[in-house]
């Protein structure tokens, strides 16, 4: 029964995409049609317009769609011989449909006709019987989309729409979208002045603004301290590396499409590194390691570059240059489970302190039956590695989903998945087991019998990349960060000019105790200053007026609890320091 309902809704949404294309051609007769599938919650269709359209134009298109729906036009399947289909699309100048024909081997091609040949589209279907069954529709937004997802092709205009059976379902969906915008990291990132994408610098290359960089440094220092307490050492390797290193690692064979073009230096190819691991392997090899040195834990905040397609870039979530909280752990087979368990312990500590709880685990495995050439290394080693990761997850009682085919080319991994406000899922933390690079780089250690052995290598990124993690962190907290992480913890606001001297004393006292505090002594009203601070989501506001000066107190206003009231200066400082020490969060 569930499948029947899902099929009915999918047919309805697919038909809505045809109604969209029908409406567009009525209003823009020279528009060229791309493709238009059903998607979660609705549909989209790609168009090439002779003149760009804007989101304000969607209202007229939506009105035209509703007229077509109201007419209850029949939607009927028919078939056309290839030569007739080619002639048909040539006659109406639909070049993209002609290109689609080349990829369909059938001699007879399926078309769906709306009304009395008012709209005809190449389509396998299935569809509903008439446009009156489409339900409730709403055009949501426009976006750029390369034809067939290929950035070498023309950028088309994609129109997204929502489609539901009832108005109540549509109202709930639109309310959810409205609520999601309040959490959108791209909106909040701008409002809170955390980061910027500056076109003159480059798409997909985020700039950390002072407030965002403050938060990043706090997290960097936190993670360095946490890792050092657990025996990590830290390195930093260059942004560009000789191509020979990536030939050894296998990245040039398995990963070249995601790498930037080489840079010629003294007739040698250098690459912006897509991974930190090859350089990390060379650091390990600088000195001979004994079994007594293992596990050897080497951390790095390493910046890497990957050539993401323009259409896939998204705020901080999908970028071209990013810094990983990377680490490479070298251990014996006997130490393997213990090292993985310790890594998961660190993950638990970090997520608890950050107040992050919306995530799940995924075990990414190989799938040699479908794609045997994707994976490097010995099959038996793959089986050992995959079972080791599975065993640890099961022993810890962690619920996880196995994902055959999602492993990296050099080994299986545990991914921690988070879902953003729009329902899109991404990996934020990774524990990658690797037996392949150790072999390629001839990584060794000397065992207790004086024999050379090959260690296991674990690649581990608890934060993943700072950029992607911040996207989820902003959305998770809606910008209301825990006090210990907030870029500005307190803003001191004197009511008038005569209160500035005491306000400065409070500011200097808090600043001297390592509280991140700002003094707003601008010539503006108190209410205006409060609104500006609340817009930046400052955790605590300190209001200074006559009463505060007379009693040598501060009037405290909390971002979350609003008015706290008068507090002695030392009392307020102790209050802040305790909240920071405990890393309290909502």
Contact between 318 and 312 (Cβ < 8 Å): yes
Tell me phi and psi for residue 406, to 5 degrees: -95, 0
pLDDT digits (tens, 9 = 90+) for 336-393: 889 999 999 999 999 999 988 778 899 988 876 667 666 766 677 778 788 889 999 9
Q: Which CATH superfamily is domain 191-237+276-477 in?
A: Bira Bifunctional Protein; Domain 2 (3.30.930.10)
Residue 129 annotated in active site? no
Task: Give the active site residue among 314, 318, 328, 468.
Answer: 328
3: how many CB neighbours lie within 10 A of its CB? Answer: 7
CA dist 217 to 3, 317, 476, 516, Å? 50, 19, 20, 13
127 labeled binding residue: no
18 labeled binding residue: no
Residue 234 annotated in active site? no
Residue 242 annotated in active site? no
Placement of tokens 């990774």 in the chain: 430
Contact between 456 and 433 (Cβ < 8 Å): yes
| Percent with pLDDT over 90 in the chain | 67
Question: What is the total residue count of the chain?
Answer: 586
Taking alpha carbons only, the member of 277, 208, 210 closest to residue 237 is: 277
Residue 326 annotated in active site? yes
pLDDT digits (tens, 9 = 90+) for 107-132: 788 999 999 889 999 998 889 999 99
CA dist 490 to 268, 282, 575, Å? 53, 45, 12
- Cα 424 off chain centre by: 8
Residue 477 annotated in active site? no
* pTM of the predicted structure, to 2 decimals: 0.80
Residue 522 annotated in active site? no
**181-185 long-range contacts, CB within 8 A, separation 24+:** 182/478, 183/421, 183/474, 183/475, 183/478, 184/421, 184/475, 185/315, 185/316, 185/317, 185/420, 185/470, 185/471, 185/472, 185/474, 185/475
Q: Which of 29-43, 208-222, 408-422, 506-520 is least confident?
A: 408-422
Q: Which fold has domain 2-177?
A: 3.30.980
Tokens found for residue 7: 């099929």
CA angle, residues 136, 142, 145, in degrees to nearest 5: 120
Task: Give the active site residue among 459, 468, 537, 585.
Answer: 459
Residue 1 in this model has a pLDDT that exceeds 50? no
What is the spatial distance between Cα 157 and Cα 35, in angstroms, rounded to a whole number? 11
Q: Do domains 191-237+276-477 and 490-581 have the same CATH topology?
A: no
CA Rg value for the chain:
29
Mean pLDDT to the nearest integer, 6-11: 90
What does pLDDT average to over the chain? 91
CATH number for the segment(s) 490-581: 3.40.50.800
Residue 269 annotated in active site? no
185 labeled binding residue: no
Task: Give the active site residue among 46, 326, 488, 520.
Answer: 326
Enumerate the domain spans of the chain: 2-177, 191-237+276-477, 490-581
Tokens found for residue 137: 């529709």
User: What was the pLDDT predicted at 2?
Assistant: 44
Strand arrangement, sheet containing 321-331: 232-235, 296-305, 321-331, 456-465, 425-434, 413-419, 359-365, 400-404
pLDDT digits (tens, 9 = 90+) for 25-78: 999 999 999 999 999 899 999 999 998 898 899 999 999 999 999 999 999 999
């Amino acid at each position: 029964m569930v499948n029947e309902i899902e099929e009915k809704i999918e047919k309805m949404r697919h038909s809505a995409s045809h109604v969209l294309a029908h409406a567009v051609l009525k209003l823009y007769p020279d528009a060229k049609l791309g493709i238009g599938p059903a998607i979660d919650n609705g549909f989209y269709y790609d168009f090439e317009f002779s003149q760009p359209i804007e989101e304000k134009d969607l209202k007229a298109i939506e009105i035209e769609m509703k007229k077509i729906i109201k007419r209850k036009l029949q939607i009927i399947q028919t078939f056309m011989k290839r030569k007739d289909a080619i002639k048909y699309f040539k006659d109406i100048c639909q070049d993209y449909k002609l290109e689609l024909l080349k990829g369909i081997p059938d001699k007879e091609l399926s078309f769906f006709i709306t009304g009395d040949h008012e709209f005809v589209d190449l389509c396998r279907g299935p569809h509903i019987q008439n446009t009156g069954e489409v339900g409730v529709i709403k055009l949501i937004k426009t976006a750029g989309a390369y034809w067939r997802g290929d950035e070498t092709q023309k950028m088309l205009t994609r129109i997204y729409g929502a489609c539901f059976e009832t108005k109540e379902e549509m109202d709930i969906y639109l309310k959810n979208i409205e609520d999601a915008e309040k959490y959108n990291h791209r909106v909040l990132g701008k409002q809170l002045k955390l980061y910027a994408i500056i076109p003159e610098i480059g798409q997909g290359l985020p700039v950390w603004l002072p407030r965002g960089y403050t938060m990043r440094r706090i997290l960097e220092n936190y993670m360095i301290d946490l890792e050092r307490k657990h025996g990590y050492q830290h390195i930093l390797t260059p942004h560009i590396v000789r191509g020979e290193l990536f030939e050894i690692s296998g990245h040039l064979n398995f990963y070249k499409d995601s790498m930037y073009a080489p840079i010629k230096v003294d007739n040698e190819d250098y690459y912006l590194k897509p991974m930190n691991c090859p350089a990390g392997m060379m650091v390990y090899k600088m000195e001979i390691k004994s079994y007594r040195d293992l596990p050897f834990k080497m951390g790095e905040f390493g910046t890497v570059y990957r050539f993401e397609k323009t259409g896939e870039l998204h705020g901080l979530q999908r970028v071209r240059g990013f810094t990983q909280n990377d680490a490479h752990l070298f251990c014996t087979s006997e130490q393997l489970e213990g090292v993985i368990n310790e890594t998961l312990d660190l993950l638990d500590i970090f997520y608890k302190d950050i107040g992050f709880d919306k995530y799940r685990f995924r075990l990414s495995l190989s799938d040699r039956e479908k794609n045997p050439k994707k994976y490097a290394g010995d099959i038996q080693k793959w089986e050992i590695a995959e079972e080791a990761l599975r065993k640890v997850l099961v022993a810890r009682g962690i619920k996880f989903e196995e994902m055959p085919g999602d492993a990296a080319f050099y080994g299986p991994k545990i991914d921690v998945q988070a879902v953003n406000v729009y329902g899109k899922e991404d990996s934020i933390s990774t524990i990658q087991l690797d037996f392949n690079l150790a072999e390629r780089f001839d990584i060794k250690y000397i065992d207790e019998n004086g024999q050379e052995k090959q260690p296991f290598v674990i690649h581990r990124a608890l934060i993943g990349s700072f950029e992607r993690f911040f996207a989820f962190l902003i959305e998770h907290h809606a910008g209301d960060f825990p006090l210990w992480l907030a870029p500005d913890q307190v803003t001191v606001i004197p009511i008038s000019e005569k209160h500035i001297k005491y306000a400065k004393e409070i500011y200097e006292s808090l600043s001297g105790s390592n509280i991140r505090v700002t003094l707003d002594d601008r010539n503006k009203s108190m209410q205006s200053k409060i609104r500006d601070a609340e817009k930046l989501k400052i955790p605590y506001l300190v209001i200074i007026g006559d009463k505060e000066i007379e009693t040598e107190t501060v009037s405290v206003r909390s971002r979350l609890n609003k008015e706290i009231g008068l507090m002695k200066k030392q009392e307020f400082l102790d209050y802040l320091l305790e909240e920071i020490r405990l890393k309290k969060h909502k």
